[in-house]
Amino acid sequence: MTSASWSGPLLGDRFEVGELLGVGGSAAVFRAHDRVTGEDVAVKIGHAHVGAEVREDFSREAAVAQRLVHPNVAQVHAHGWHDSAGLTQPWLAMDLVAGPSLAAWVAERGPLAPGPAAIAIGQVLEALAAAHALGLVHRDVAPDNVMLDGEGRLRLVDFGLASATGVPAMSAGAADKIVGHVHYMSPEQASGRPVGAAGDLYQSGALLYFLLTGEPPYVRGTAADVLRAHVEAPVPVPSARNPRNRPLDLVVTTALAKDPARRFASATVMGEAVARAVAPRRVVSPVSGDDGTVQVAALDGRTTATTIWQQSFPASSGDDFRESRFGGIGWLIGAALALVVALVWGLAGGDTPVAVAESDSGAATTSAPSPSAVTTQPTVPPVDDRVAVPVLDGTLTEVESRLRASGLAVGAVTRVQSPEVSGTVVGGSVSSGMRVEPGSPVDLQVASGSNVVPDVAGRSAGEAQALLEAAGFVPVMTSPSSGASRGTVVGTQPGALTVLRLGVSVTVEISFAPTGGESETGEAGAGGPGDA
């Protein structure tokens, strides 16, 4: 852009405003030129209705945002207030991230599979963990505010300005005055209550639901109805839209709990749960019994993180994973990266071979030998005669056909409890894509048509309903007597851990409390308007 193109206002005697890049519910985004550094940046200018009443909040939180330096955050360079012909508007200058946003990515290419979605939300949670450590709450975690940069790394934008515009949260009855992304507001924000770090985790759960399904959790006809759904409607389950999403059902429903205290304890804890949910698994030892249960343990499938991310976001590079400090998926990414580095170096004919090692913590490291040990003789990679394990999804007949067509044998077939339809393959002794010797047997786990009733005691009625539906059962909710409101779930009939056929009705027993009074146990009723 030429200097003649900088025709807009000068912000803070430093940033020359240029072309419009986008408009959101709370602000407009412009390209701007930084006179100090000579670089182009993005400036967000709050809409006129974001008035001076939030000046103190904005100034305080934007100042904190400038101290937030993280590879998954668009760095804030400066902030201030601009006198716009009698109106004072907040502005924020930050890194110019190429994009697209996650909203645009999903709109063009469709929902992500659980693996790539887990890595994407993991990067968002890394950014939030760093922000929360500084006492900074984002309050507007939404697909439009997560951008893909030129290196394939996700960057969370709008720290500071999002906080300012999100402070005056409106109730459901004032939906026409809401600023921000109504589809991703936490129940407390939608109700006008204070918003803390738990609100960011709720929005992360809503974002994860969007990545998996292509839609926000609550699709309604009006903004007011969407806000009421955040407060009142049962938590949606992503596998109801696509069965492949089942591994992340519990993560999403926990993050979307109506009560902030029932969500994850922190962004780090949520990220670890995400990583566990998508970790490859294999059968260790079948347990003899009428119920056909099996014990499972994590499989050493550490190259999957890099593979699934590059398949979904081809622009990504190894730097993304080296910079990732998130404990939950760091061990997956670190080992995968080290292996890729070693292979690439060897194939490129580098003079110094790279040694790959794994520490006690599971992180991979690389080292080079001493000069005396270096050889200049080229090495020829050995021929790999192994075959790749095909996709182990579908009916038993379909998977058996794929295995035989790949030159592999069908091993032991074990019936396991699962919410999947009877006869559906739900796992194997090796992961899809792994390379094994020709003729190797692959053990399969097949859904038996039965499942275990989940333990939902202590949860809200909405959460219990969602978890029972995800497990394959039909929840029957007990109704409160006249003049009483719903509290928490005390149990189910049949009870937790009972093995039942899929589609069987399970009665949810709920404690009741007189409206405005005490519960049957003498404590204030825990249920809210969302526990329907």
Task: Give a yes or no: residue 44 inside a domain.
Answer: yes
Looking at 366, 398, 418, which one is the last position of a domain?
Answer: 366
How far is residue 451's CA from residue 498's CA, in Å, rounded to a whole number? 8
Same domain, 207 and 313: no
Query: pLDDT tens, 12-70?
Result: 889 999 998 877 656 788 999 999 999 999 998 877 665 555 556 666 667 777 888 89
73 Cβ neighbours under 8 A, 6+ residues apart:
127, 130, 131, 155, 156, 157, 159
- The domain in which residue 334 lies consists of 304-366
Task: Tell me which residue of 258, 269, 222 sits closest to 532, measured CA to CA.
Answer: 258
Task: Give a yes or no: residue 291 inside a domain.
Answer: no
Element (H, E) at 298: strand 294-298
Q: Which amino acid is at 439?
A: G
Pairing of strands 87-94, 76-84: antiparallel
Strand partners of residue 500: 451
For residue 285, what are its two tokens? 């030892």
Same domain, 15 and 121: yes
Instruction: Share the mean pLDDT of the chain.
Output: 74
**Contact (Cβ atoms closer than 8 angstroms) between residue 304 and residue 435:** no
Looking at 215, 244, 278, which one is the last position of a domain?
Answer: 278
DSSP string, 261-286: GGS-SSHHHHHHHHHHHHS-EEEEEE
Same domain, 245 and 342: no
User: What is the pLDDT, as a whole number, of residue 262?
Assistant: 93
How far is residue 401's CA from residue 173's CA, in Å, rounded to a whole number? 57
- Of the listed ranges 136-140, 333-337, 433-437, the one predicted with least confidence: 333-337
* Cβ neighbours, 10 Å, residue 215: 15
**Contact (Cβ atoms closer than 8 angstroms) between residue 407 and residue 385:** no
Query: pLDDT tens, 434-458?
Result: 788 999 999 998 999 999 999 989 8
CATH value at residue 425? 3.30.10.20
> How does 482-494 read in b/e, with b if 16+ C-beta sit within 10 Å?
eebbbbbbebbee
Distance of CA 21 to the CA centre of its chain: 26
User: What is the pLDDT, as a whole number, of residue 355?
Assistant: 37
SS3 409: strand
Same domain, 13 and 99: yes
User: What is the pLDDT, as a whole number, of residue 322?
Assistant: 28
How far is residue 271's CA from residue 251's CA, in Å, rounded to a whole number? 9
Task: Give a yes or no: residue 375 inside a domain.
Answer: no
Among 2-6, 261-265, 388-392, 524-528, the range of highest mean pLDDT: 261-265
Task: Give a yes or no: residue 527 inside a domain.
Answer: no
**Is pLDDT at 261 greater than 60 in this prediction?**
yes
**CA count, 13 A, side-chain hemisphere, 22:** 16
Task: Give a yes or no: residue 469 inside a domain.
Answer: yes
Pairing of strands 355-358, 27-34: unpaired
Task: Tell me which residue of 465, 455, 505, 509 sits closest to 486, measured CA to CA.
Answer: 509
Give mean pLDDT, residues 356-380: 42
Give mean pLDDT, residues 257-261: 93
Looking at 235, 263, 278, which one is the last position of a domain?
Answer: 278
Same domain, 348 and 219: no
Same domain, 340 and 237: no
Q: Residues 140, 144, 149, 320: which is the catalytic one?
A: 140
Task: Give a yes or no: residue 77 inside a domain.
Answer: yes
* Cβ neighbours, 10 Å, residue 32: 28
Same domain, 409 and 461: no
Same domain, 71 and 113: yes
**Contact (Cβ atoms closer than 8 angstroms) between residue 416 and residue 463:** no
Q: How many domains does the chain have?
A: 4
Strand partners of residue 178: none
Same domain, 168 and 224: yes
Task: Give a yes or no: residue 292 inside a domain.
Answer: no
* Cβ neighbours, 10 Å, residue 365: 12
Query: pLDDT tens, 198-230?
Result: 999 999 999 999 999 999 999 998 888 999 999
Same domain, 179 and 113: yes
Same domain, 266 and 409: no
Cα separations in angstroms, 30 against 33, 68, 185: 10, 22, 25
200 is catalytic: no
For residue 25, what are its two tokens? 């519910």
Task: Give a yes or no: residue 379 inside a domain.
Answer: no
Q: Which residue has the higher pLDDT, 157 or 146?
A: 146
Rg (CA), the chain: 26
Same domain, 120 and 46: yes
Distance of CA 53 to the CA centre of its chain: 33
Strand partners of residue 518: 524
Q: Which residue has the higher pLDDT, 160 or 135?
A: 135
